[in-house]
Amino acid sequence: MIFFDNASTTRTDESCHDIIKKYCFENFYNPSAPYHNAISVKNDIKEAREKILRALNGEDGRLVFTSSGTESDNMALFGAPKRKYSRIVISASEHPAIMNTAMELSQRGYEVVAAEVDECGRVIPEKFFNLITNDTSLISIMHVNNETGGINDIRKLCHIAKSIKKDILFHSDGVQAFGKIPVDVKELGVDFYSISSHKINAPKGCGALYIKRGVSVQPIIFGGGQEMNLRSSTENIAAIISFAHMAMRKTQNLYDNLNQIAALKKHLYDNLPYDERVIKISDENCSPYIIRLALKDVKGEVMLHALEKHGIMIGTGSACSSSKPIKSWKTAFLPQEYKNGLLRISFCTDNTIEQIDYFIKRLNLEYSELIKYARG
């Protein structure tokens, strides 16, 4: 089995096994309880929080554990202080977790505008700055695009946005960035930053929102007052501790991993046929973890199923939205014959050069088979 859909989720690292076991069967206590064993779990969560803040280089800020990247995004957009009916700027290529949350805010009276992006989903800075008005209170731009790997220069966008209007709050969805490319929230200058556990080989069910020091936020979930009263719910301790564990590990090995993945991408690009059959959309500035290709005259979905037969799992669009009609930014620049042929290949450090060779071989074979019956 070859898993090339690591942007949708990753396999939980074996090293999490003992952590999960420990916090499910031994230290299973409710961290809010007052006895010793529970307090020790509470301390473990505190330590996990500090680890992740350190990994983000945001130690003087706050970190709220949530259930997912999506929840973190929701918390940032709904919870950030903003004037009623003010303007919210997002990018046209945001993940549905931001896109649909912003749409909901627009239903509730906010003016939501989306900045134009290039073919890799990156905000075009000039067009973006023109959208920032005096009435703008919140901006949300993803760090790494989940479908192309396109990296937004969050530092530049954030600094210039704040120079246009000082009190603007800036959120970035860093779900595909954290643990994969260097992330330094201080340097980026963001007020909020969303991350997710299952994208970095920790279990599903945990996310976090970084909140810059001095920035206030309203909870969107109410109850027992956990997480500094910002996100009530009994903590998912096994996932939280695993998340922190993997965050540390990914940050420590960040450059080694990045080099390994970049080599995979290079190998893929070097060996994919250099002809009209496939367009390599993700360019050299994208995160090498995610690659978008477009096939000529063969549907992405059909290729996905054809490869599935041979044990290769890839993506088409984003797994959260692959059943929805493709939004225009994704294909606007593509010739008609390629518009339905989007593929997403996404790596993790378990992947090997041999897997890529097999993938390319299968892709070529399946392509030459499928193209025979392509729509004429």
Partner 1 sequence: MERTILVRIGEIFLKGNNRRYFENILKQNISENLQGIDCSIVYERNRIIIENFMPSNERRITDKLSKVFGIHSISPAMKTKTDIELIKKLCAEISPKNGIFRVTVNRADKSIIKRSMDIAAEIGAYMLSQSKELRVNLFEYDFEVYVDIRENGQTYIFTEKLSGAGGLPVGCSGKGMLLLSGGIDSPVAGYCMAKRGVKLCAVHYHSFPYTGELAKQKVIDLAKKLSAYCGNIQLYIAPFTDIQYAIREKCPAAYMITFMRRFMMRIAEKLALKTGCSALITGESLGQVASQTMESINVTNSVVKLPVFRPLIGYDKNEIIDIAKKIDTFDLSILPYEDCCTVFLPKNPIIKPDLIKVEEMEKALDSMEDLINKSIENVEIINTIDN
x-or-dash pattern for partner 1, window 289-308, by CB under 8 A? ----------x-xxxxxx-x
- Of the two residues 257 and 316, which places its CB atom closer to partner 1 in the complex? 316
The stretch among 89-97, 115-123, 261-269, 368-376 that binds partner 1 (CB under 8 A) is 368-376
The stretch among 4-12, 46-54, 97-105, 365-373 that binds partner 1 (CB under 8 A) is 365-373
Q: Is residue 373 near partner 1 by the rule CB under 8 A?
A: yes
CA dist 369 and 365 (Å) reads 6
CA dist 162 and 258 (Å) reads 31
Q: How many residues bind partner 1 (CB under 8 A)?
A: 16
Q: Is residue 376 near partner 1 by the rule CB under 8 A?
A: yes
- Of the two residues 171 and 362, which places its CB atom closer to partner 1 in the complex? 362
Asked if 353 and 360 touch (Cβ cutoff 8 Å), the reply is no
Q: Is 131 helix (H, G, I), strand (E, B) or coil?
A: helix
In the bound complex, what is the minimum distance in angstroms from residue 283's beta carbon to partner 1?
A: 29
- Of the two residues 47 and 369, which places its CB atom closer to partner 1 in the complex? 369
Q: Is 151 helix (H, G, I), strand (E, B) or coil?
A: strand
CA dist 363 and 293 (Å) reads 12
- Of the two residues 102 and 342, which places its CB atom closer to partner 1 in the complex? 342
State the angle between helix axes of 300-308 and 353-371 in degrees (0 to 180), rounded to the nearest 10: 120
x-or-dash pattern for partner 1, window 222-241, by CB under 8 A? --------------------
Give CA 295 to chain center in angstroms. 24
Which 312-351 residues touch partner 1, going by CB under 8 A?
A: 323-324
Contacts of 34 (CB under 8 A, 6+ apart): none
CA dist 43 and 45 (Å) reads 5
Nearest to 87 by CA among 121, 115, 116: 115
CA dist 335 and 42 (Å) reads 55
Residue among 16, 24, 286, 320 flagged as catalytic:
320
- Of the two residues 18 and 308, which places its CB atom closer to partner 1 in the complex? 308
Residue 120 bears catalytic tag = no
Q: What token pair was written down for 306?
A: 């054809």
- Of the two residues 240 and 306, which places its CB atom closer to partner 1 in the complex? 306
Asked if 186 and 318 touch (Cβ cutoff 8 Å), the reply is no
In the bound complex, what is the minimum distance in angstroms from residue 21's beta carbon to partner 1?
A: 32
In the bound complex, what is the minimum distance in angstroms from residue 323's beta carbon to partner 1?
A: 6
- Contacting residues toward partner 1, per CB under 8 A: 299, 301-306, 308-309, 323-324, 370, 372-373, 375-376
Mind telling me the catalytic residues?
320
